[in-house]
Every structure is written in structure tokens, then in C-alpha cells.
Structure 1
């Protein structure tokens, strides 16, 4: 994202990507004639007024468009089966019908969620980091943030096993209602999904999957003649007299160096300080705080190609959550395939371009951790890399079999006989392809301890090296990564080009429109001529159509 922004503003950029394709967790992958989204299962801030749309619109209007997701989440929890849709009050009424003794509490729960949603909607332009502001802007932002967080404040203290129960008991008395929401890590995690639903801030990935976002950004960067070097693994950042002068990296067994005035590191923060920057640059206290940071779990993910459609097996566009709510929160999230809550999505129900006609895709995942099963049956080589062998393959297949059997049992379906292809990704997989510590999916968790430890940051001890990506913020996902990209870009522009800085800052603050940006002499023209490439399934369908057309001509 930063590369596309810098290109738009007239700067020369070189992107070093360790994978063979752009996107990190949203890169996705193709198998046979199927396409799978590797990480994106729902989207926020990609609607008409969302941050992601705003950021992309600074560049152009030909970016992939996400659509409102109307069927959002299905709770298959014990004897209950609830579907949450954009008509979220229907969900409220259903709960009030099933739990009449908690009628008023349910009303208050949804009222509080709506207030949080209204706050999200009313304060859309608060994405600039404080380090990009002058004193007056900081004062104004402080007042805005205070007004923004008011609906959140009564709920912040309810976290952890007992905290969530205590918070929910302010609304509910029935044990089943407490169980329905009790798997979340804190009370706000129960309320915010409902809040997003009230303001219709759930979107499905654009046609072709979430990887099209990365493909568009790659196209924009190349349009501005900027370099993107894949399969390029950074080895160190060169420092002279306390200033970074370039990056050394390995590509296909050869060592290279690229020089640059500024370096933005959208990578694992510990790798930045312990591997890429010289030893001693980061204060030991900072390294200790990063070591102790609370991170999101990794994931164990099954990607299934099916010989039938997802609809034929009973799946819809919504995320299906299956859990035994009588279990405590730890058992629902500890990575045990026998007890962990399972998320299931059929991407091909939402997007027919992901699978051949009459067939489908299914993604099954649970939270997972790299230390499980003695590091998933791997061993470490001399460089500290995980070596995968027979034990690794057997271990992940055993876990996959348990999950498939649970799904078949819970939904009373025959899934296994419809599997054409099965891809199994473990935390080892996620770490190998992204470089993120322990394969974490979204970096550092939002929360009191990480905030107090100042885990999230943009500025490093080297004045021209900035952190970006989800490690620069607390939380993860596309909106966080986009916000980090815009803020790290601003920090460079603040030093390099005051006029361009003001243009982007005012745009982020909602003071300028995309049309105003297009009229500015500070940006380079963009033709809005990106053409999306067909998916494997679309290629197959086009070939069939060509054959049929040819046959008709011959006849």
C-alpha cells in the first residue's frame, strides 16, 4: 500500500517481498481449478465510506470492490442455531423470544452495541497517528477520541474468563445466553460484531478473492515504474553514522543490496530489531516488552476443493461457528481439535468464480499454536528453521481428520466423500510464508497490557526506518494494515515533502475529497485501467464457451 501511495506522489520505491506473490496473509492460492482465500473470512471498512475504500480512492477508482455481506454469522452452538444478518434486530427478537426472562437485558445489550456502532460511524476520520500531528491537531484529536470512546468505556474492564462472565451478567441471567457469547476474550468482542452489523460494516471479498486487493496495488506500483522483487529475503539493514543507507537481501541464492533514503519495514517487529538492524540498536527494555507482548493465535486451516457446491452441503455465505458452549473459554480457544470452536466458510457460495461450475470450496479453521504437538512434529535446523518431515505430515493429517469428523457429526453431512483436494496449513505454514512470529495471524492484541507496554509503534531508534503493517498497530486485518501504511507514508512525507504531507493528511482527516486530490499538481496521473485477471475456474469456463462457439460455427 505504501509503495502505491509513494508512486502516486512521485517517489521511486523498491518493494522486497519474501514470497513469490504479493499480499502476505491475503495472497491466497490456486489448486487445480479452484482458488482459496488464505486468511480473509470477513471484511470491515471496505464499504462505500470505509477506511480501505478511502485509502484506495486516493490513488484511483478501479480497485476491487467489496459488497455488503447480508448473511454474516451463524451460531451453531449446542441445541441453538442462530443466523445473524444485516437485519440484526431480527436476531435480537429471536433471542427475546427464546429467553423471555432476559427480554430487557437483551434490549440493553443490543442498545449498547448500537451506540458503539454509531460511534464508529460518526468518527470515520480519526485514523491518523498522533506522531503525524502538530500540537493543535493533537488537542483536537484528543477531544474527538474522548467522544469516540465514551460508548466503549463502560465495557472495557470486562475481560478474561471471569471478566466476560461478569460483563454478560449485567445483561443476561440465563446460562445458555451466557454460553452463547462466552467464548469471546472480552465483553467488547461480544458487542462490537453486533455494532458493525448495525452499521452494515461487514463485506464479502471482491470477485476473485481478497488477493485482488494485492494484485491491484502491485499493478499501481508497476504503473509508476517502481520495482517489486519477489522471493527476496532481507538479511540486514545497512547503517552508517546512525542512519540507514540501504537493505541487503538474498534472491535465488544471490546477495544484493538496494540503497534508499527511507526504509519502511512491514514485517515482524522482532525480526526487524533482532535480525535486520544491528545488535544494540533496540534498547533491551523494548525487546523485553516485545517478547512479553500478547499476540493473536495462529490458525490451523483446511482448504477443501469439493465436487459439489457449498449450497448442496447446506452452507451459505455466512461464517458458521460451531462450538460446545458448555466448555470454558480456554478449551474453546486452546487449539485442541476436539474442543476448539470451529469456523467454517464456503467462499464459493459468495463468489462463483472461485470454483468450477457445479463445484465448491470450503475453509475450516480453528485457533492454533506453534508449540503444539512438539512444534507439530518438526525439528530445528542449524539456522533455527523448522524442518518438516513424515511426523509433520502425519500430525497435521490427524488433526485434519478430527476436524472433518466433528463437522460431519455436528452438521450430519457426508463431507469426506466430496473432497477433491485438501490443503492443510499449520502455524508452521503461516510462519514460513509470512515471517510472523509463531505464525500469528494478526500480531499484537489490543488490550491494557500491550498498550501500557507501548508494543505498537511506528518510529524506531533509527530516524529513517519506520515500522508498518499490523505490527505498527494493535490488532490486525486489512483496515489496520492500510491505516499503518498511510501513517508510515505520512511520517516519511513529514520529513521529505511538507506539501505532499499536508495533502495526504488533509485527505485522511476528511478535509479533501478524491476529486480534489486528482486536481492537485502534487500527484501523478493514474489511468484507472487495471484489468482483473480471470480465476482458474473462469479460464476453464471461457475455454468451454470457446469450444461450444467453435462447434456451433462448424455445425
Structure 2
């Protein structure tokens, strides 16, 4: 018999991704009673990770950013607990490999700039301007933590004052907006250099801003590797905090309905191991897929047809085919290093780089065990290979659908994903590591169907809705819903994705709850988010409950075996 549910809660949170867990931890620290309901057996969403034999794999981590002391995630984690998992700064960041190039971006981008100027001296002025523009974008992101409070929590004059820092942040991006797609990116890069070999470096990028962002982040040291133990230690720590304050995190709980009385959310109905359970709450935070919320958990009349269509047609990030590989040696012995490798082809279009054909697709390679040896047994290693992918490929990856619209996997599905994995491994062995196939102990393949199954995210998208003119115009991302006391609190509340966006969303959802439930806590957290007070002032106020920093990360499977 597990821990019993309470009769009611101040806040119920649907989903235990980083957004839901951040909201839960902050609200717990503020003294509210919280219950987090997760449909899967483990917390974490895209950071849940998994174990195969004595290897630990992250599900979706390419890199982290905004996790340093001054980043969005770093600032929030620091007020939650001094024992938070610490992301590791990267030195070797990104390797660009193509038919005729192989370049390395480090935490000193001037080295890459010098290499390009040496090879293409006739493009020196344009290369200088390109790196200067990228650095400006990096500077904007470096100040991102000063503009991460949502305007939905602000009064009229606060919103007016907030416009200036938002304008400063956006000014770095405005000159590059609109330069996307095959023709747009060529036109945008031509503003800096016309040399085709330089254009080919970004053959897989969809817009000019995407070409510049990695360089901009590198200028400000904003590339981090996951903490020791992998990305999953972040949700493990956050869920520990929620329970430390005597609140609840329950898994295997599939929420089916948000209870609404009048126009106010009053709780949820969910199933746990076949049993239907109803819980009451003063507030509900949906840190889950937003279309699932509106289409399955709420009455159809809640959302207008116009808003429903805008959500359906929102421009979202791709999903991926992900190969998690266990090696009988270190990846370093095969020619890999700690940096993220992007392999593209100058003969493939942007669309082909993400179209699902493994012979033409971009390949992204990561070596987690080189960054963190605790992820693999002694003498072994891990390799993660990504290929952009969409649910529409091969009619849903040859799956069928049941009467509830769920994807049903079959032998054709399994054969397809393994055939693609073999092609990608073969390409990788020819380009970087000829001996790779002979050192593979086993591998696990995830598709967009897999990502959809474990996260519930529309089409298995990795990061929700993209920043862009149409999504902004249609206000696709928002915290408040047409139902009072029902908030969006996961990545769908914001445009963009990744850990910092999830932390931002969870923090703002918690802030909006506190605005109604605890004015002192609201004001203190708002002032901290606005950089009006320091973490020390926040902690010494006594408004939020103290924490004894008692979390200890669990040993990885490899560490347990070694001991």
C-alpha cells in the first residue's frame, strides 16, 4: 500500500517534467500543499532518462544553458537549495562536419573566427561582422534572467517598465528575423559572406539566428554539460524538495479530467492502476501537453474554435530518432571528444536534413560518458546519436491507431526504426569512427512515437512551440487559460524549449498562484526575478520555508556495480 492521497490540496500539478517540478518545489517552499501527478512510472519528462544493464542514458539532453549561477535555471535552483545539481561548463562545444569541412567551436569563439579568416581571407570583413552579431545575441541571452518574469503577473506600470529590457533583449534578434528557409538563410548569410563553403557549414540550419546562437552562447560561456549522474538528477532533486516539505509526487497517475465548477478549476479526476480517483484543489497547473489539456481534459466549449485552430497550426520543434549506444570502450578511443558533433551535407536541402531519410539527414552525436564516466561501467562508454524526425514520416512510422487514437507499434515499426539506426551508425563509422560497429554492445532506438508515448507531447516534439512571428501573433504561448485557477506551467507556456524554458515556465506558474494565495511570497519572488534583491536577501526574509540541503544523489548503476 503506497502513501495515501490527502483529502485536498492547495495546488495539483499535472506532469512531473522540469516545469511541473520547479513549480511544485517553489510552492512547497512557500508553504502550500502540493500534489504532482505523473502518468509515467518515473518523474522527469524528457529528463527522466533510463537504464539498460549497468549503463545510464539521458533521454534528450544535447547540452544545457542558463544553468550557471546567473542563468535562469541557476538563479531559481540557488534559492531552492544549495545542494542543487551543478551543470559542468564546456570548453569544446560544437564540431561542424560536412563534405568538405571540419571545424570546432570552443568557449573561445575567436579561435574559430581566426580559422575561417585564414581559410577565407577575402571574406574577413563579413566574418568579423558575423561574429560581432553573434556576440550581440549572446550578450542578450546573458541578460535573459532579467526578463524572465511573465507580464501576466505584472500590473499596468510594471508592464510599461518591462518594455525597455524586453526591447533591449529583442534588438539583437530583429536584424535577422525573416531570414529562414532555403532562400531566406542564403540571403541572410549573404549579408555577411558569399563564400559557398562558409554557407555549407550551416547547411542543416533553418534560419540565420540558429546559425549565430551557438557562437553567441560560446562567447559568454553558456554551454554546460549535465550534472554528474546525468540530466535525470535534476528532476530527482526537485522531487526530493517537494517531498521534503511533506508534499506529494505520485507516478502512474493518468489525469483524465480537470474538474470545473462554474468557470473555476476545482480539482482533477485521474486513474492510478485502473482505479479512478478524484482530488480537489484550489489551483491546477497543467505542466503537460496543451492540446491534451484542451481536447481531452476539459469540455470542448472552453476554447474557441479560433484559439483551438491556432494551437493546432502552431509551428513546433521537430522530434527525433535517438540511438542510445553502449560501447565496450571509451568513445575517446574511437575518435570522439566531449563536443556536440553536427554532421551535415552540402548536397542536401534544409528540408532533407530533417526529412527522415537517414542517408541525407543531419546527424547529431553526443558522448555523455566522456563528460561523465559514472554513466558507464569501467572501461566502457556511451554514445548518443540524434536525427531530426517527425511523426508524419512513413505514415506515423508504420504504426496503426487504436479506437482512442493511440499509436500501436508493430513489426513494421520495429524493423523501420532499426533499419534507420543501422544506416546512421554506418554513416557515422565512415565519417568519424571506422571501428564503431565492432565496439557496440547494444543500442536502444527511440522515435517520435516513443517520445510521444513517454511525454504525451504533440507529435513527440522535443521542445514545444518555436519562437516566431506567427506563434507570437497568435499568442500560442500563455500561462492563463479561459478557466479561472487553471494555469499552463510547462514548456507550452513559453516559446522555445529546454531546461531554462521549463524552469522559467514552472517559476512563473508558481508566481501566479502565489499572487492569489500568498502576497508576501509573491512580492519576494517577483522582486528576485526582477533582480531587485539578491538570493541572500530572499533567503534571509523568512517568507519561504527553510531547507536543510540534505539531498544526496543516488549512485548510478555503474557506481553501484563498482562498489
Task: Give the TM-score taking structure 2 as reference length.
Answer: 0.95
Query: Are 1:315 and 2:342 an aligned pair?
Result: no
Distance in 1 separating the partners of 2:299 and 2:250? 23
Aligned to 1:547: none
- CA 413–457 in structure 1, closer or farther in 2 if over 3 Å, else same: same
The superposition leaves residues 498-534 of structure 1 with CA deviations (integer Å, 9 ceiling, x where unpaired) of 1111011001111122221222231111001110100
Aligned to 1:48: 69
Distance in 1 separating the partners of 2:212 and 2:179? 12
- CA 447–356 in structure 1, closer or farther in 2 if over 3 Å, else same: same
Pick aligned residue for 2:410 from 386, 389, 398: 389
Pick aligned residue for 1:136 from 157, 163, 179: 157
CA drift at 1:122? 4.0
SS of residue paired to 1:124: helix
Aligned to 2:106: 85
Aligned to 1:403: 424
CA drift at 1:118? 2.1
Aligned to 2:307: 286
SS of residue paired to 2:145: coil
CA drift at 1:302? 0.3
Pick aligned residue for 1:160 from 163, 175, 181: 181
Aligned to 1:145: 166
Distance in 2 separating the partners of 1:119 and 1:27? 30
Query: Are 1:274 and 2:292 an aligned pair?
Result: no
Aligned to 1:107: 128
Paired residues, what number?
542
Query: 1:330-345 residue pairs with structure 2 within 5 A?
Result: 330-345=351-366
Distance in 2 separating the partners of 1:293 and 1:149? 21
> 1:37·1:211 contact (CA, 8 Å) conserved in 2?
yes
SS of residue paired to 1:260: strand
Aligned to 2:87: 66
The superposition leaves residues 203-222 of structure 1 with CA deviations (integer Å, 9 ceiling, x where unpaired) of 01000001000000010000
Pick aligned residue for 1:440 from 440, 461, 479: 461
CA drift at 1:121? 2.4
SS of residue paired to 2:94: strand
Query: Are 1:176 and 2:176 an aligned pair?
Result: no
Distance in 1 separating the partners of 2:203 and 2:536? 46
Query: Are 1:474 and 2:503 an aligned pair?
Result: no
Distance in 2 separating the partners of 1:135 and 1:369? 41
> 1:114·1:198 contact (CA, 8 Å) conserved in 2?
yes
Query: Are 1:354 and 2:375 an aligned pair?
Result: yes
Pick aligned residue for 2:78 from 54, 57, 74: 57
Distance in 1 separating the partners of 2:199 and 2:400? 42
SS of residue paired to 2:326: strand
> 2:267·2:279 contact (CA, 8 Å) conserved in 1?
yes
Question: Comparing 403-412 with 523-532, which one deviates more in the overlay?
Answer: 403-412
Distance in 1 separating the partners of 2:165 and 2:261? 41
The superposition leaves residues 311-365 of structure 1 with CA deviations (integer Å, 9 ceiling, x where unpaired) of 0111111001111123211111212111011000110000010001110000001
Question: Comparing 143-152 with 16-25, which one deviates more in the overlay?
Answer: 143-152
Q: Which runs of 5+ in 2 are unaligned?
A: 1-21
Question: Comparing 509-518 with 223-232, which one deviates more in the overlay?
Answer: 509-518
Aligned to 1:189: 210
Distance in 1 separating the partners of 2:207 and 2:199? 13
Aligned to 1:259: 280
Aligned to 1:421: 442
Distance in 2 separating the partners of 1:335 and 1:452? 30
CA drift at 1:183? 2.1
The superposition leaves residues 90-141 of structure 1 with CA deviations (integer Å, 9 ceiling, x where unpaired) of 0000011111111111011001111222233245311001111111211111
> 1:302·1:425 contact (CA, 8 Å) conserved in 2?
yes
Distance in 2 separating the partners of 1:109 and 1:454? 31
Distance in 2 separating the partners of 1:328 and 1:392? 26
Superposed CA RMSD: 1.0
The superposition leaves residues 136-179 of structure 1 with CA deviations (integer Å, 9 ceiling, x where unpaired) of 21111101111222222211121222111101001112111111
The superposition leaves residues 221-241 of structure 1 with CA deviations (integer Å, 9 ceiling, x where unpaired) of 000111111011110011111
Distance in 2 separating the partners of 1:2 and 1:67? 24
Task: Give the TM-score taking structure 1 as reference length.
Answer: 0.96
> 2:203·2:348 contact (CA, 8 Å) conserved in 1?
no
Aligned to 1:32: 53
Aligned to 2:116: 95
Question: Comparing 458-467 with 115-124, which one deviates more in the overlay?
Answer: 115-124
> 2:320·2:388 contact (CA, 8 Å) conserved in 1?
yes
> 2:71·2:144 contact (CA, 8 Å) conserved in 1?
no
Distance in 2 separating the partners of 1:328 and 1:439? 23
SS of residue paired to 1:305: strand
CA drift at 1:193? 1.1
> 2:23·2:489 contact (CA, 8 Å) conserved in 1?
no
- CA 533–412 in structure 1, closer or farther in 2 if over 3 Å, else same: closer
Distance in 2 separating the partners of 1:270 and 1:151? 32
> 1:179·1:326 contact (CA, 8 Å) conserved in 2?
no
> 2:477·2:493 contact (CA, 8 Å) conserved in 1?
yes
The superposition leaves residues 13-47 of structure 1 with CA deviations (integer Å, 9 ceiling, x where unpaired) of 00000111111001111111100011011011011
Distance in 1 separating the partners of 2:145 and 2:315? 27
SS of residue paired to 1:364: strand
Distance in 2 separating the partners of 1:450 and 1:394? 37
Pick aligned residue for 1:303 from 320, 324, 338: 324
Question: Comparing 175-184 with 87-96, which one deviates more in the overlay?
Answer: 175-184
CA drift at 1:80? 1.1
